[in-house]
Structure 1
Amino acid sequence: MAEPPLIPRPEGLYCPEGRFYIDPVQPVDRALITHGHADHARAGHGAVMATRQTLEIMAIRYGADFTGTREEAGTEARVNGVKVSFHPAGHVLGSAQIRMEIGGRVVVVSGDYTRAPNPACAPFELVPCDLFVTEATFGLPVFRHPDPLAEVGKLMASLAQFPDRAHLVGSYALGKAQRVIALIRAAGWDRPIYLHGALQRLCDYHIEQGVPLGELRPATIERGNKAQFAGEIILAPPSAFAAKWAQRFPDPVLAFASGWMGVRARARQRMCELPMVISDHCDWPALTRTIRETGASEVWVTHGAEEALVHWCRKQGLAAQPLHLVGYEEEPE
């Protein structure tokens, strides 16, 4: 019996022929990384191959010595005889799907991806394959994400209704914050947007990479002048909402941008007054559409509602299985 092209291991998804892991959650000799979110991109590997932007994002987050050797993914490379190439995933800046030719089959590991337009990164590229490894973060039929511009419209309406209140928008530091800023600009907001310090460096990096974000300012309150943020937009990591930092602003409206805001219990748990359903992952229609369009005859499903998507695939006549990989979060900071 032929050895499978990829094997789930505690360290991550392993390619025996190429002797490398994809997005390993533990230190390994050689890792191929799909994108810079912390549950996919860890420090401490002997060698890391990724897109230039992902390598630079990892250096920003972990320091220049996050790996022994950096290998920038070009248009095509061979890793211990396995032909690999990286293709845009549309998830965050630098995110990629990894295409491999193994044993006469084309295998694509998608990482996290989205089909929705995202001005903060390159758009998703459909890669035909025989075996498609897909995430299932929102892998239930109930998940159908609304128009993100309409969700930002809720923020604009709240600003008009409550001009004396600061509007704090919880946004993850890599990808979500920059996408939300771009959407706010698309909605016509040309005033400064204020940032928690934890978001500043990655926003600066996006600007360096040519992503237009407009005027950004530090969310620094002058002594005794809370009113300076009345009617303003402040972006912060969600963790800041539980700290005294958020209490310094005038009667803040707490908003949170996430695909999970479509689940009312999640919004209540976050004590969120203004939930904005903005996701950097595919919803159910986009997941199933992508699987069809790849032409894959076999689908492996990971991190999310695996069983539901596996069931759908099998009903379509596709060979499918869940991977049950551990260490991947729903939507990491």
Structure 2
Amino acid sequence: MSLLELTPAGLYCSKADLYIDPWRPVNKAVITHAHADHSRWGMKHYLAHHLSKEVMKLRLGEDISIETVDYGKHFLENGVKISLHPAGHIPGSAMVRLEYKGEIAVISGDYKTENDALSTPFEPVKCHEFVSECTFGLPIYKWEPQEKIFEAMNFWWSINAEKEFNSVVFAYSLGKAQRILANLDYSIGAVYAHGAIWNTNQALLKSGLEIPDIPKVTQEIPKSAFQGALIIAPPSAMGTPWMKKFSPYRTAICSGWMNVRGARRRRAADAGFVLSDHADWEGLITAIKASEAEKVYLTHGSTAVFGRYLEEVEKIQAVALETLFEGENSNLEDN
């Protein structure tokens, strides 16, 4: 890599003397987004998009040193021109563009190419080297338009409500939960949030994101208030005593992994909705080709299969990098 090197602490740009999404404490870290595998505790100074600021403070501590920058605004570090560009992954997610003496590298973090009407839509950035995830880098992964997914989810909720079941939907606290909130049919019933999701919502609202400000599930709310309601909870709440207050209920999991036959059954959920904040197979190919990169570095996911496709079919040089990024966790651990 001409502008980057992989070090024990993470991806490092020596010319600018900064790291992108490092996994060990460093002096200067540019953060692509606030998910835990990309935004970690212990950095002396953070830089991120402004929509990531309050969530990072919630997760990493109010006293972190953090500077924010808007999409497309350039700044210089030791002669390296740096800017953030929309990744479309979750609110505040960004690709990091580095330019030095005509050489351009882009680190994508995580991304999706479908406009979810919540996150700033993905914008391809032309470069010589592109660092890409490939969480769902297999041809079996092909997402349906989110309108169809939410039509099915709202119908599932309405049927449950008619049968006097409460509906509990499991989704990541940051990104996916807010995407669901933005697409629910609120005429069906009340909507509540687990505390972890409510706290994330408050941080995003404080940052200026426009999302429904739904109530938090508390002990003071009578059980009768949940009748016919939809409750959004992180995957970590699955099967815990916290769920008892919603009985009788039906459960659903929202994940790209629900695309795989049998995944829902293994998780003992009543329904599974194929909803991912990562690009599918076609989305990955589209994004990489749009970058016009001569060389692509694959950081996490199906690196072997996807890299072989890029080289043999698209004639793009691909190199797999061993990183600590996780993408969409197949064990459904919240990030």
TM-score, normalisation: structure 2? 0.91
CA deviation after TM superposition for structure 1 residue 312, in Å: 1.5
Instruction: Provide the residue aligned with 1:73 in structure 2.
Output: 69
Instruction: Provide the residue aligned with 1:244 in structure 2.
Output: 241
CA deviation string 1:20-53 (max 9, x = no partner): 1110111111111100001000121112121122
Distance 1:98 1:266 in 2: 34
Q: Tell me whether 1:295 sits opposite 2:281 in the alignment.
A: no
Contact 1:5-1:103 within 8 A present in 2 as well: no
Contact 2:160-2:167 within 8 A present in 1 as well: no
CA deviation after TM superposition for structure 1 residue 210, in Å: 4.5
Instruction: Provide the residue aligned with 1:5 in structure 2.
Output: 3
CA deviation after TM superposition for structure 1 residue 205, in Å: 3.0
Residue pairs, 1:249-288, within 5 angstroms: 249-288=246-285
Opposite residue 301 of structure 2, the aligned amino acid is: G
Residue pairs, 1:178-217, within 5 angstroms: 178-185=178-185, 189=187, 191-214=189-212, 216-217=214-215
Q: Tell me whether 1:172 sits opposite 2:149 in the alignment.
A: no
Q: Kindly report the root-mean-square deviation, in angstroms, between the aligned alpha carbons of the 2 structures.
A: 1.9
CA deviation string 1:190-216 (max 9, x = no partner): 743101111112212333445443351
CA deviation after TM superposition for structure 1 residue 314, in Å: 0.6
Contact 2:177-2:197 within 8 A present in 1 as well: yes
Instruction: Provide the residue aligned with 2:85 in structure 1.
Output: 87
Distance 1:171 1:111 in 2: 20
Contact 2:110-2:327 within 8 A present in 1 as well: no
CA deviation string 1:252-273 (max 9, x = no partner): 1111111111123332232111
Q: 1:130 to 1:189 in 2, by over 3 A?
A: farther
Residue pairs, 1:213-228, within 5 angstroms: 213-214=211-212, 216-220=214-218, 225-228=222-225
Opposite residue 292 of structure 1, the aligned amino acid is: K
Contact 2:82-2:97 within 8 A present in 1 as well: yes
Contact 2:158-2:188 within 8 A present in 1 as well: no
Structure 2, unmatched stretches of 5+, are: none
Instruction: Provide the residue aligned with 2:127 in structure 1.
Output: 129
CA deviation after TM superposition for structure 1 residue 222, in Å: 5.1
Residue pairs, 1:134-145, within 5 angstroms: 134-145=132-143
- Please point out which of 46, 49, 69 is paired with 2:47: 49
Contact 2:127-2:291 within 8 A present in 1 as well: yes
CA deviation after TM superposition for structure 1 residue 115, in Å: 1.0
CA deviation string 1:285-330 (max 9, x = no partner): 0100111111111111111111122111112221111112125353
Q: Sequence identity of aligned pairs in percent?
A: 35
Q: 1:93 to 1:313 in 2, by over 3 A?
A: same
Distance 1:168 1:46 in 2: 39
The count of aligned residue pairs is 326
Contact 1:192-1:217 within 8 A present in 2 as well: no
TM-score, normalisation: structure 1? 0.92
Distance 1:135 1:168 in 2: 30
Distance 2:206 2:48 in 1: 19
Distance 1:35 1:201 in 2: 17
